Copies of this chain bind each other. A is one copy, B any other.
Amino acid sequence: MARSWATLGVDLHLEPSGSGGLRRGLTDALRDAVRTGRLAPGTRLPSSRSLAADLGIARNTVAEAYADLVAEGWLTARQGSGTRVATGTPTPPGTAPTAPHRTPARPRHDLIPGTPDLAAFPRTEWLKATRRALATAPFHALGYGDPRGRPELRTALAGYLARARGVRTGPDTIVVTAGFSHALTILGKVLRARGVRTVAVESYGLDVHWALLRGAGLATPALPYDGLGTDPREPGEAGAVLLTPAHQFPMGTPLHPDRRAAVVAWARRTGGLVLEDDYDGEFRYDRQPVGALQGLAPDRVVYLGTASKSLAPGLRLGWMALPPDLAAEAVSAKGQADTVGVLEQLTLAEFLTSGAYDRHVRSSRLRYRRRRDALTAAVTTRAPEVRVTGIAAGLHAVLRLPPGTEESVVQAAAWQNLALHGLSAHRHPQAVTDPLDALVVGYGTPPDSAWAAALEALCRVLP
């Protein structure tokens, strides 16, 4: 085999039939591949030289078969673009729209909470970091990896989390995950294996998280919620509590200082664990964010972070800082096949160590702070019965509505093709606190170009 044909061209799988000679067999096999739709219209075929070498037959035989099929209309041949499957040939049966999971149409105005402004993703800086990661990674980094994640990333995260969030950890007690849900799935398995039966969760939160824990066989009763926010002081029989201490999701208040101390005391007293969901801890606009609860008790708190709010959910990158004994169990539960791509991990490590992460977070803070200010001003002026609540932080705000109006406002928004959440969608089914009428507005979600129109649409549906 000469290098020329072997490395150029494309692969084409064919099973020429035996009878009728080589040319006939090849023509039949090619026609069949096109007719049944296996080769889609527009597919480029290998050159006759390359296919002949692959099949171990004479080049002329392939050229003649191609010519026959061009004559029959199955293929087209053009100078410079080679031989392709003609358009107008059938599409394969599997491509019929059988799929039950169509991507839903995007709304005209998107204020669904939980996503940052994806149009502001730092593409140029991310590409630079990818280039540096690809240029410097040792070749064996591309193999099956350490299930905890790449050491470069764990080291960078340990430094960043300590500096920016007050987390007390090191590279050996960090586990890289494919986002928060992956981390919570792992923790569910670990807790269940330890004999935990119950993880207390907040009265307001995300039902997909509760469902992940229930999927691991854990009960998820609701912690009380009162005028001071979540009350985790008496989690009953729970072996762990899941909290959003820096910025309660979705209510938007930090965990009360007395209760921070109390939940740590509970964990120490009972051997319980606190799962700290620090989903948007970087984004506080009026003062420095509250430090991670984990800093108070690194032996009793699992710190969970994610790139989904600070960069983009599509990266599928998250991390846990764990007590040392739990780190080993989490790695076992995760399994040996590391589910996070090495190149993404190395790129994030570069992004953190080069300072690009801090720069992006700090410029995002300005963007979201301006939006929050604009939201507050617009609501104050145009809907005086509505109140923006929660601290100046994060990517969403809770808008308190007059009693009994939530359902009709959410319905009015849907008619305007404005996507947002009513607070009741985030209320635990067994919460004992009185239901409140409110909207959860993700002001971080739209791109800059769509923000003003989304805010205007929101104001139009407010009572």
Q: Which residues of A pack against B, CB within 8 Å?
A: 1, 3, 6-15, 33, 36-40, 43, 54-56, 91-101, 103, 106, 114-115, 118-119, 121, 123, 126-127, 130-131, 134-135, 139-148, 151, 158-159, 162-173, 178-179, 181-182, 208, 282, 287-289, 291, 295, 298, 308, 312-317, 321, 324, 327-328, 331, 335-344, 355, 358-359, 361-363, 365-366, 369, 447
Contacts and interface: CB of A to CB of B under 8 A. Distances in A.
Nearest to A314: B342
Given A118-B142, A172-B95, A182 B101 contact: no
B38 A162 contact: yes
Contacts of A340: 178, 316, 341
B97 A366 contact: no
Contacts of A121: 139, 142
B343 A315 contact: yes
Given A13-B165, A55-B288, A159-B40, A314 B145 contact: yes
Contacts of A181: 335, 337
A123 to B, nearest CB: 5
20 contacts: A6-B363, A11-B163, A12-B164, A13-B163, A13-B164, A13-B289, A38-B167, A39-B163, A40-B159, A92-B168, A92-B169, A93-B298, A98-B172, A101-B148, A127-B134, A142-B315, A143-B312, A314-B341, A316-B339, A316-B340
Nearest to A123: B134
B362 A11 contact: yes
A363 B56 contact: no
Q: How many copies does the complex hold?
A: 2
B8 A362 contact: yes
Nearest to A103: B146
A142 to B, nearest CB: 4
Which 8 pairs across A and B sit closest by C-beta, in order of nearness? Answer: A95-B170, A314-B342, A94-B170, A99-B172, A11-B164, A142-B312, A142-B314, A181-B337
Given A335-B181, A366-B6, A288 B13 contact: yes
A315 B342 contact: yes
A339 to B, nearest CB: 4
